[in-house]
Amino acid sequence: MRQKAMIVMLALAAALLVRNLYNISVLPDETNQGQIFRIIFFHVPAAVVAMVGSAVALLASVMFLIKKDFKYDALAVAVTEVGLAFLAVNLVTGSIWARVIWGVWWAWDPRLTSALICWILYAGYLILRQSLEEPTQRATFAAVYSIFAFTDVPIVYFSIRWWRTCCLLQSWRIASSTSMRAARRAGTAAPITPTTTARTRNRAS
C-alpha cells in the first residue's frame, strides 16, 4: 500500500514539475532582468520547502523529547535531510542570480549570510548524528541541537526587514500574476511530499 502511494505521489510530482516548467518557459522576459528572473521559480519554492522542513524538524524534535518515541526522531532526520538539500538549491540558484544581476557570485548580504549559516547548522545536525552510536543518546542530542538550529530560521526570514539587504524579493513581487502564483504554489508543494515520505519510512524501518 505504501509503495503504491509513493508511486502515485511521485507521478503527481512529476506531472506538476512538467506543468510548472512549461508555464515558466512561456513567460515573457522580465523588463529589467531578462531571462534570469525565471530562476525565482526555483529559488523561492526551494527556500519555502527548506523552512517548512526546519519547522517540521523542530516539532518532531520537541515531540521526541516529550514522548521518547523514535518515529519522531526518524521524521526529524528525514525532513532535515530533505530541507538541507532544498536549502542548497536555494543558495546555488541565488548565487547564479547574483552573478548575473550583481556581477558577483557571492556577497556577504544579511539574507545570504544567515541562509549559509542555516545550511551549516543543519549540516552539523547530520554530522552530529553520525558521531553518536547509541540510539537514545543520538536522538536526544540531535533533538536538542535541532531546536537550537531552528533559531536561525526566523533570522533568515526577517533579515530583509531588520537590515538593508538585496535579494530576490523585489523580483518576487514583480512576478505576481495569477498564473505565476499558481505555478509557485504547485512548485512548492510538489517536491517535498514523496521525498520526505520515502526517507521517513527508510529511517523508521
Grouping H, G, I as helix, E, B as strand and the rest as coil, residue 164 is: coil
Grouping H, G, I as helix, E, B as strand and the rest as coil, residue 30 is: strand
Residue 56 has pLDDT above 90, yes or no: yes
Answer yes or no: pTM beyond 0.85: no
State the CATH class of domain 2-204. mainly alpha
Among the listed residues 117, 125, 118, 98, the one whose alpha carbon sits nearest the alpha carbon of residue 43 = 98
Long-range contacts of the stretch 1-9 (C-beta < 8 A, 24+):
2/201, 5/197, 6/194, 6/197, 6/198, 9/193, 9/194, 9/197
Other C-beta atoms within 10 Å of 97: how many? 21
The predicted structure's pLDDT at residue 176: 46
Question: What is the Cβ-side half-sphere exposure of residue 204, based on CA atoms within 13 angstroms?
Answer: 14
Tell me how far the alpha carbon of residue 1 is from its chain's centroid: 28
pLDDT over 70 percentage in the chain:
80
Q: Tens digits of per-residue pLDDT, 79-97?
A: 999 999 999 999 999 888 8
Q: Tens digits of per-residue pLDDT, 171-194?
A: 444 444 444 454 445 454 445 444
Q: Tens digits of per-residue pLDDT, 129-187?
A: 999 989 999 999 999 999 999 999 999 888 877 776 655 554 444 444 444 454 445 45
The predicted structure's pLDDT at residue 3: 83
